[in-house]
Amino acid sequence: MGFKHIKMNGNPDEVDMETGSHGQCFPRLRFLEDSQIKRIHGAVLRILKEVGVRVHHDEAIELLVSNGARVQEKNHVFIPEFLVEEAIRSAPSSLVIFNRLGEPVMDLGGRRIYFGTGTDLPKTIDLKTREIRHTKADDVIAAALIGDAMSQIDFIGSYGLPRDIQPGLHYIRCFQLQVENSTKPIFFTAESEEDLRVIREMAAAAVGGKENLYTRPFLIHYSEPTSPLVHSREAVAKLIYCARTGIPVNYTPALLAGSTGPVTLAGSLCVAAAEALSGLVIHQSALKGAPIITGVAATTMDMLHATVSYTSPEFRLTHSAYADLFHHYGLPIWGTAGCSDAQFPDLQAGAEYAFTLLNAALDGANLIHDCGYMGQGFIGAPEMILFANELIGMVKRYLKGFEINETHLALDVIKSVGPGGHFLGEKHTLDFFKKEHWRPEFFNRENLSNWLKNGKKTTDEKLIARALEILETHRPKPLPPEAEARIGDIWRAALEKKRS
């Protein structure tokens, strides 16, 4: 089974969870049986047809009604099965995303996995003082530089909501800081359609014009419906704008089982999938074939603390189930991993980062974001981006499995060494030890005496030291001077408009 595709930008670490070759064994996860996918899909279609969704956007309602949907009470829309099936068919099954330099770096689709950071963090753990404080614009720059320097971080999220940037201009300024401090694709949020217009102008300036941006997009907008079953005016306006301008959009709900969705996992999954698919119908009604990444987050509300859990086992169960469902649809999907409910990097954070990253990778989610998250998505820890990078390398090595063939069975070498010998001097060892064995950058493998002699450094100490070093030394390829000047002009115009 499986298929082949071109390696993006020659990345030797890229992992496709469906690509295999004769003689290779690798771990895989399939959660739902075909009959269960069919049953869930049927329930989702019934929700859209019998319960409907609220759409607070007049043009979207007109589009839906003109295509066969039914509306009552002005904005309560009931979507028939054929519209959903048509949207699934018309949406692209894969999307190629480029970096700022115009190089293809992510082929979203199938079970190909890519990792990146998150968005909208109001708090940051200071790298030097270790205090939890308000996020600042400098933290956005730091996260962009660290993400840019990490080999396993494929894209960068817009990171924070800096307190030192004027309210209403966060998203525009964050995009500017990111495009100036990284060449990697940018996963960004925006408050409004007007924000999107300004950010599109900046992105076009970075790559030499709107035509270049359209043919080689290096940005993905993140937006979401409001659970349960509501599409706000702002969200739909951005969704339609992205469809018509060719900006890839990630439109995915964030439902809380027991609060904004049914407490049962199957029920919450169905409501969230209905929200995602109704968004897909609106998007494809605006322009068939427009690029979209879809999927759901159906996490749980902790009833004792009234908080959302990013890492509960129930969330990971719905993550795996929805991945199977949307792989069945043949659509590019997002995921979330490399995050923790812990308020500070500790043992809990280590366990939750590892659990979520392995789970999302086995699910074959394409656009896996939130690396570096702490505190249930409210706190950023820059050194944890490096920690996630380390774990992603470990997870990818695990997922690649190993070869079982004549060379790798090594019977000739085993016979040559014989009982009681060793393999250190064998050419076979020299040829394969780097290919077969993953080597960590930060995790300890020193024996006790060497660890004591080399300063007894813990992993968190090494992560922080390396993060500070990156901020001192890492300099991504800069924007062309004319592009940087143009983006500066766009920012100043947005600032002036806000003040007027």
The tokens for 73 are: 């009470």
Half-sphere exposure for 35 (CA within 13 Å, toward CB) = 0
Report pTM: 0.94
Q: No. of H helices and E strands in the chain? A: 18, 24
Beta strands in 27-103 (DSSP E): 53-55, 70-72, 76-78, 94-98
Beta bridge partners of 292: 249
d(CA 386, CA 30): 29
* Nearest partner of 381 among 159, 189, 164, 224, judged by Cα: 159
- Compute how many other C-beta atoms are within 10 angstroms of the C-beta atom of residue 160: 28
Residues 366 and 334: their CA atoms lie apart, in Å, by 6
The separation between CA 173 and the C-alpha centre of its own chain, rounded to angstroms, equals 21
Q: Which of 89, 86, 94 is nearest to 69 (CA)?
A: 86
What is the layout of strands, in order, in the sheet containing 307-309? Answer: 254-257, 297-302, 307-309
CB-CB contact of 193 with 238 (8 Å): yes
Alpha carbons 190 and 199: distance in angstroms, whole number: 9
Strand partners, 136: none
| Pick from 354, 334, 346, 411: nearest CA to 374 | 346
List the chain pLDDT tens, one digit each, 500 residues.
333 344 565 566 667 666 555 678 888 899 999 999 999 999 999 999 999 999 999 999 999 999 999 999 999 999 999 999 999 999 999 999 999 999 999 999 999 999 999 999 999 999 999 999 999 999 999 999 999 999 999 999 988 899 999 989 999 999 999 999 999 999 999 999 999 999 999 999 999 999 999 999 999 999 999 999 999 999 999 999 999 999 999 999 999 999 999 999 999 999 999 999 999 999 999 999 999 999 999 999 999 999 999 999 999 999 999 999 999 999 999 999 999 999 999 999 999 999 999 999 999 999 999 999 999 999 999 999 999 999 999 999 999 999 999 999 999 999 999 999 999 999 999 999 999 999 999 999 999 999 999 999 999 999 999 999 999 999 999 999 999 999 999 999 999 998 88
188 and 143 Cβ atoms separated by less than 8 Å: no
DSSP designation for 375: G
Rounded distance between C-alpha atoms, residue 291 and residue 245, angstroms: 10
Backbone angles phi, psi at 254, to 5 degrees: -125, 80
Residue found by looking up tokens 């896996």 in the block: 368
Nearest-Å Rg of the Cα atoms of the chain is 24
**DSSP helix, strand, coil percent of the chain (3-state; round to 5):** 45, 15, 35
